[in-house]
Structure 1
């Protein structure tokens, strides 16, 4: 690839600063290890000048990506699809079908716009790291803030996934083996199981040098969730409404309740109840994937803003379809009887149903394979904070992954009420990652001579950040309201 020519003065500045040293050999650019990635101005001068021949020059110098479009879409889709998918049917039951669809479309579009802000900001900085956007926008405090928010949010996500493994895997094993509830064998202890899963499955995947290598496991994880969706659609036509009453084999409803049962088995288009307000933050955070966007962009082959935006659009669209179908068929199966976690409702109907057991196992596999994808941004954030000028080293790469998994395992094993804490963390970090930081970064990073403060794009970005503040206040108020009412922690803000 050819290099855009610099003026003698610009070449002298770049060499004098020691920020960018290059050798031009047979038309190719070789970047020396002495390159300082924090010098964004020299990066912009070198990489964003138009080439006289009209050909596109290299946009970024931080990494030469080799991951294909499809693998990148798998990884981003897998990072979007969290455990919250099991609560979408409950959300639909509290909003109605039409309101739910409108909200889901709106939030999917907002998420795509948020990624657009991130990618455009990254283009001006010349780096594809959330922490470096914070550095460019607000200096060292912005870099630290971005790294801390990413670490807290993804640690909470990892903990929530391992909680599912801890509590669901023993029940699935017990059901498959048809064991009595009084059985106390070690392989039914959730604490042992999460350690085994972490060592045998999660850690080897987390040791991959590049996130792109996880595209295959992300694809398998998504396949498991497709199996979950197909099984859900099949069960819609197998489970009667109203639900079978335990002990009532004939399932004949009691006399005088026909009208009530008729209402119970009718889908509602619009619903307003005390739980409706709680579903809005849950849906708002359904497309959280922003900590993974820039790492995936870093490893994308032939990286351009348009190409990465297409990756994001494909991922968001595919998850939108999966979310919508899961919520719709889950709701149309149980209507008003659907619980906050969809699989629990199936278990109440028939805890030993073989298909449902397979579905529960598939969900466990999908959740487990998501953990390494979520771990990568935390490790990258810690490296940016603690070792910003260090090159890749296997000992450091491995050590950070091992320490992170040990810490998360200890949290899940010894702190049974950690969900309440991460409920608050999720309610603050999720709107920060989706709305607040992308909007504020865009306003601060894009030069005023390119887009004045009163220009339409910057006003939209500022309004976008304001929406995030509103969501944060709403989520925290709902959580604290539940705490004060004695109903326990909220799931609002979880992923």
Structure 2
């Protein structure tokens, strides 16, 4: 089995350039999590946020290092197959289920953005008043059919760059005041709960919503299932070359995330919501274009997320069945229907970021790569008590601690139902 994997990976010749691989991995990292980072900064403060963001970025790079080293030892270039190599069929099923959970969370967040932004776009294009009875089911109909649209990853990433530029620009033309917040956003709850220092930047802040910060960051940096396929496609692939691809991609996304969080937070301070675009005027022409760009970006990305979910379901439920169009379409329809139900009943995109960021994200970033490394790399190459394997064990332990603490704090926040001014 081992030799088969090695031969398959060796016979395949990658044709993707170094620069294009950076672009592909950057696009894999970039997602809806960028919209929640200003909210995360509002609930941690600038200094604590920057420290945590740097930490998550470094840990993500180290996690990719473990994946690449493990894949290099056995010649496997698929995340699920590493699970199979480590634990047999249960390991493959576990990896597939976690990847599926994360992709469902990602798709839910994309459709939640459609649910929020599509009515505003229609209102803006049709010049309808904000209090018009625009039926929210328009967003659900749109969300249901968009799974069958094509996609262009380059255009999606360009839309998010346009979003960042607009956020930076709006910081310098927007005044933070109670009157402005009410007139421009209609967020009466934020106004009623605001304090005298609502327009002052906080360097360190701790409140119940801080529990969502690390999960939101982790959610924003997950790209690990795509690392090995991109590694396979890389021209003249080797571990050092692919690690450089990962490091540059993570650095680029780190800069985008940091700029978005800082300028989004410094525009609205403590009033910022968990979906940043909700804070901007529905009548602003520039932000209408931004909303349209983000909507197009997530629309074009949903099929990309749907495909691996459907593939995982087919592997789990119908591993030996030949391709059949009825089964293919039925699974897609059922998945979209279930995800739409989730989006309809979940009240806040923050809850999606938090739950997925506290469960599947630490599994994909911390736990599974470390366990794969410990179990797959042979002891004759690296003994169990060697420094790299001890570091991997500490990495796995950190992942479990992060998962348990995040889930605990999020559950406490959900149960107590405490609400602060930011994010609601």
Q: Please give the TM-score of this superposition, normalised by the length of structure 2.
A: 0.86
Q: 2:160 aligns with which of 225, 230, 239?
A: 225
For 1:267 and 1:328, how far apart are their aligned partners in 2?
Answer: 10
Mark the CA change 1:280 to 1:184 in structure 2 (over 3 Å): closer, same or farther: closer
Q: 1:330 aligns with which of 242, 252, 264?
A: 264
- Following superposition, the deviation at residue 95 of structure 1 comes to 1.7
Mark the CA change 1:404 to 1:196 in structure 2 (over 3 Å): closer, same or farther: same
For 1:247 and 1:77, how far apart are their aligned partners in 2?
Answer: 36
Q: 2:101 aligns with which of 132, 152, 159?
A: 152
Aligned to 2:386: 455
Is 2:408 the partner of 1:477?
yes
Is 2:34 the partner of 1:72?
no
Is 2:173 the partner of 1:238?
yes
Is 2:345 the partner of 1:417?
yes
For 1:246 and 1:107, how far apart are their aligned partners in 2?
Answer: 32
Residue 173 of structure 2 aligns to a residue in which SS?
coil
Aligned to 1:356: 287
Is 2:243 the partner of 1:315?
no
Is 2:74 the partner of 1:125?
yes
For 2:286 and 2:263, how far apart are their aligned partners in 1?
Answer: 16
Mark the CA change 1:384 to 1:271 in structure 2 (over 3 Å): closer, same or farther: same
Residue 189 of structure 1 aligns to a residue in which SS?
helix
Aligned to 2:2: 40
- Asked if the contact 1:153–1:429 (Cα under 8 Å) also holds between the matched residues in 2, the reply is yes
Mark the CA change 1:130 to 1:365 in structure 2 (over 3 Å): closer, same or farther: same
- Following superposition, the deviation at residue 432 of structure 1 comes to 0.8
For 2:144 and 2:238, how far apart are their aligned partners in 1?
Answer: 40
- Asked if the contact 1:281–1:474 (Cα under 8 Å) also holds between the matched residues in 2, the reply is no
Mark the CA change 1:450 to 1:413 in structure 2 (over 3 Å): closer, same or farther: closer
For 1:140 and 1:435, how far apart are their aligned partners in 2?
Answer: 21
For 2:285 and 2:257, how far apart are their aligned partners in 1?
Answer: 24
- Following superposition, the deviation at residue 438 of structure 1 comes to 0.2
For 1:411 and 1:423, how far apart are their aligned partners in 2?
Answer: 19
Residue 385 of structure 2 aligns to a residue in which SS?
coil
Aligned to 2:120: 171
Q: 2:231 aligns with which of 297, 312, 316?
A: 297
Greater shift after overlay, 359-368 or 278-287? Answer: 278-287
Aligned to 1:82: 31
Aligned to 1:405: 332
Greater shift after overlay, 116-125 or 237-246? Answer: 237-246
Residue 14 of structure 2 aligns to a residue in which SS?
coil
Q: 2:362 aligns with which of 404, 412, 431?
A: 431
> Please, what is the CA RMSD of the aligned residues?
3.0
- Following superposition, the deviation at residue 454 of structure 1 comes to 0.5
- Following superposition, the deviation at residue 351 of structure 1 comes to 2.0
Aligned to 2:192: none
For 1:376 and 1:413, how far apart are their aligned partners in 2?
Answer: 16
Aligned to 1:141: 90
Asked which structure has the greater CA Rg, the reply is 1
Mark the CA change 1:339 to 1:423 in structure 2 (over 3 Å): closer, same or farther: closer
For 1:237 and 1:137, how far apart are their aligned partners in 2?
Answer: 53
For 2:180 and 2:254, how far apart are their aligned partners in 1?
Answer: 34
* Number of aligned residues: 405
Mark the CA change 1:170 to 1:434 in structure 2 (over 3 Å): closer, same or farther: same
Map Cα deviations across residues 356-407 of structure 1 (whole Å, 9 max, x no partner): 11111111122222223333433554565567789xx8x56x7776445312
Aligned to 1:378: 309
Q: 1:273 aligns with which of 189, 199, 207?
A: 207
Any stretches of 5+ residues in structure 2 without a counterpart?
185-194
For 1:359 and 1:171, how far apart are their aligned partners in 2?
Answer: 12
Structure 2 counterparts to residues 247-266 of structure 1, below 5 A: 261=196, 263-266=197-200
For 1:376 and 1:77, how far apart are their aligned partners in 2?
Answer: 19
For 2:84 and 2:159, how far apart are their aligned partners in 1?
Answer: 39
Mark the CA change 1:476 to 1:400 in structure 2 (over 3 Å): closer, same or farther: farther
For 1:403 and 1:115, how far apart are their aligned partners in 2?
Answer: 35
- Asked if the contact 1:114–1:434 (Cα under 8 Å) also holds between the matched residues in 2, the reply is yes
- Asked if the contact 2:214–2:357 (Cα under 8 Å) also holds between the matched residues in 1, the reply is no
For 1:421 and 1:337, how far apart are their aligned partners in 2?
Answer: 20
For 1:376 and 1:481, how far apart are their aligned partners in 2?
Answer: 34
Is 2:394 the partner of 1:466?
no
Mark the CA change 1:479 to 1:99 in structure 2 (over 3 Å): closer, same or farther: closer
Mark the CA change 1:469 to 1:246 in structure 2 (over 3 Å): closer, same or farther: closer
Mark the CA change 1:448 to 1:400 in structure 2 (over 3 Å): closer, same or farther: farther
Mark the CA change 1:311 to 1:245 in structure 2 (over 3 Å): closer, same or farther: closer
Q: Higher helix proportion, which one?
A: 2
For 1:188 and 1:474, how far apart are their aligned partners in 2?
Answer: 37
For 1:101 and 1:223, how far apart are their aligned partners in 2?
Answer: 25
For 1:154 and 1:248, how far apart are their aligned partners in 2?
Answer: 37
- Asked if the contact 2:216–2:354 (Cα under 8 Å) also holds between the matched residues in 1, the reply is no
For 1:386 and 1:274, how far apart are their aligned partners in 2?
Answer: 40
